[in-house]
Amino acid sequence: MKIARWYNNHDIRIEEVPTPAPGSNEMLVKVISCGICGSDIVEWYRLPRAPLVPGHEIGAEVVEVGASVADYKPGDRVFIAPKVPCMKCTYCKNGHYPVCANVGERLPGGMAEYIRVPRVLVQRGTYRLPDAISCDQSTFIEPLACAVRSQRLAGVHGGQTVVVIGCGMSGLLQVKLAAARDCRVIATDVNRKRLTAAADMGAEIVIDAAEDVAERIAAETGRKADVVILCTSAMSAVAQAWHCVDKGGVVVFFAVPGPDIKVEIPLNYFWTREVKILTSYYCGPPDIIDAINLMKARTVQVDDLITHKLPLNDIAKGFQLVVEGKKSIKVIITPYERIISQAH
């Protein structure tokens, strides 16, 4: 079978490896769709584990199950979580599933024709796709679940003003989710096309990041934002976030600068204003279930986020599109689709 092995963003090789056989508690799935996540291109995050097979946003079809697997059968369409929490440690008991102390085997990289799914993910990380969710759409389940969790942590609810800074794929999902919760959504970015997309997807106000964003927000709404969600690692965006949040508000770091970059927090200014600063990077089982239900009900629609679909052989092109960030929003790799369409 073919796999894509990532050495860095400019060195991704297509290789032939044996197709794995599932053990008695495992199953073999055919990858129909796999999204390129923004985190896949963050080299400081990925390089320590390179070379690796990337990809954790998948829609797949079961092709073979082990003798002890009773819940799934060949032909089932499934989404599989990248990892699952133990649900028993202190962190899990307190709802901090992404930092579980006992995460075991993880999903092998999805940029491949087949994946052997480990036992723990067969038992607790596999979700049968509803008829209403296609394999392409299922590549949004994990990123939407991450957005669900971040907004849950921030206490987002109807009637609030939510500012999303950075309108890449994750930022646009945040826009869609906050709009679906009857929030007043304001989006900011340096890319005019992304701002247009944000307006189409639920943002009431869009602001060029080159402007004085905080001043525009106050002029448009009469006050600052209840929640500010950072979906870009640009330091200029971090500085904007500090000025955009209102008293009693929340700043969520959904994306972060590299580990060698120091972020200065205006702590004294925030201290008397009861401002919260949160980090959120992954999701837990309740968030995945919520994401599936939101997509199944069409409360959050994702088809308009897909800009490119490419075969596995063109994965290097897909990564370059995401790295450049100018023409793409969501790039999906489809190992078994021979005629590839591109929306833009």
Q: Domains in the chain and their CATH numbers?
A: 2-140+302-333 (3.90.180.10), 153-279 (3.40.50.720)
Question: How does the average pLDDT of the chain come out, rounded?
Answer: 95
What local confidence, expressed as pLDDT, does residue 185 receive? 98
What local confidence, expressed as pLDDT, does residue 341 receive? 40
Residue 203 reports pLDDT greater than 60? yes
Share of the chain above pLDDT 90, in %: 95
How far is 61 from 76, CA to CA, in rounded Å?
6
Alpha helices in the chain (DSSP H): 43-46, 90-93, 119-124, 135-138, 141-154, 169-180, 192-200, 213-221, 235-244, 267-271, 285-296, 315-324
What local confidence, expressed as pLDDT, does residue 8 receive? 97
The answer to whether the CB of 35 falls within 8 A of the CB of 64 is no
Residue 340 reports pLDDT greater than 50? no
Tell me the mean pLDDT in the region 168-197. 97
What's the whole-model pTM score?
A: 0.94
What would the pLDDT profile of 267-301 be if each residue is shown by its tens digit?
A: 999 999 999 999 999 999 999 999 999 999 999 99
Tell me the mean pLDDT in the region 145-155. 98
Tell me the mean pLDDT in the region 323-331. 93
Tell me the mean pLDDT in the region 53-69. 97
What would the pLDDT profile of 105-125 be if each residue is shown by its tens digit?
A: 899 999 999 999 999 999 999
How far is 143 from 170, CA to CA, in rounded Å?
7
How far is 203 from 188, CA to CA, in rounded Å?
10
